[in-house]
A = this chain, B = another copy of it.
Amino acid sequence: MTHPSDAPSAGHEYTLGYLAEILGGELRGDASAVVQGLATLQSADATQASFLANPAYQKHLANCQAGVVLLREELSGQCPVNCILLHNPYAGYARLTQLFNSVSPCTPGIHPQAVIHPDARVSPNAQIDAFAVIEAGAEVGDGAVIGTHCHIGRNTIIGNGCRLFPNVTLYHDVVLGCEVTLHSSCVIGGDGFGFAPENGRWVKIAQLGGVIIGDRTEVGANTNIDRGALDDTVIGSDVIIDSQVQVAHNVRIGDGTAIAGCVGIAGSSSIGRHCLIGGSSNIAGHLSICDGVTLNMTTSVTGDIREPGHYSSGTGMSDMRTWRKNAVRFNQLDKLAKRVVKIEKSLSPAANKEKT
């Protein structure tokens, strides 16, 4: 059994001159030399490109044997091999990975076992894979790829260059901008969680809004974005959302925001632009988080955040025995604080009044 992950770069081969040109950087070295893959600074050999973006890895530069290294100009003197000078070598590395991408490009055509409603409009330049279903009124743009078993609901619109991996479900009345990527088993436009209580039962609130997603946004596997109740749920452009995320109805997420895995965002909350939401964080409903907020992993947000900055909640980990004792004390914390106040008062009755 051969190792398949050796295969992706097969067939890809680029001269350093070509790489410098498409990355927009200055090459120091042999323009005709060729690389066939990518690897880390420590492991790259002469047939592979590498990069240095994080200062923590600078120590590996002196012994690097890569065919070429992407780095900032000030480090070029310490580089023992060919290098390409870039202001943002990490973004350069990202572009390089795209050259070696193992995902197949769009191959226009409709698989004979796809089911497309006669009233759907599918670009002749789109690729529709086996067992995909496209309902009435839906549109699929140029260069879009609809993977196997995807469901595109009624009147849903998929912009140019979108890619839906297999088993994605888009309900009706969803709008994707251009170059949106949706990973497998994600669900866009499922019902928001809206029910009115009445005599011990729940009366379903039909969710009449849709979902609108901007350009170049990416949504991870098994992530949900629910449709709006009356108005739409709105996700901006250049938003990146990881796997296992729940985005409830009428949430709004601003351009450029990143949301890591397992995050839950409750209904009608609004997250600003260029926020970084750490993994497994939870945001309560009807809140507003301003632009430029970073949440540490597992942060629980229960009120508006009006100032950009870095926030956190929760406790540190410890061994079970220590934790148990401290957790018990947490549940007595208010009493403990009051006892301290009492002590302070007993020591200096007048001076400590303001500390209650």
Contact = CB atoms under 8 A, between A and B. Distances in A.
A223 B218 CA distance: 19
Given A184-B187, A205-B94, A334 B326 contact: yes
Contact of A313 (B181, B258, B318): B318
Contacts of A221: 169, 187, 190, 224, 226
A229 B8 CA distance: 12
Contacts of A315: 300, 313-315, 327, 330-331
Give the secondary structure class of A's interface.
Answer: loop
Contact of A4 (B131, B157, B337): B157
Contacts of A332: 326, 337
A137 B151 CA distance: 26
Interface stretch (A27-35, A60-68, A76-84, A191-199): A191-199
Contact of A167 (B167, B261, B298): B167
Contacts of A129: 133
Determine the interface band of chain A, counting residues with CB < 8 A from chain B.
35 or more
Contacts of A261: 193, 224, 246, 248, 264, 266
A101 interface: yes
A274 interface: yes
A302 interface: yes
B200 A256 contact: yes
A356 B327 CA distance: 16
B313 A208 contact: no
B317 A316 contact: no
A339 to B, nearest CB: 6
A282 to B, nearest CB: 4
6 contacts: A40-B230, A130-B133, A165-B171, A193-B240, A200-B274, A328-B334
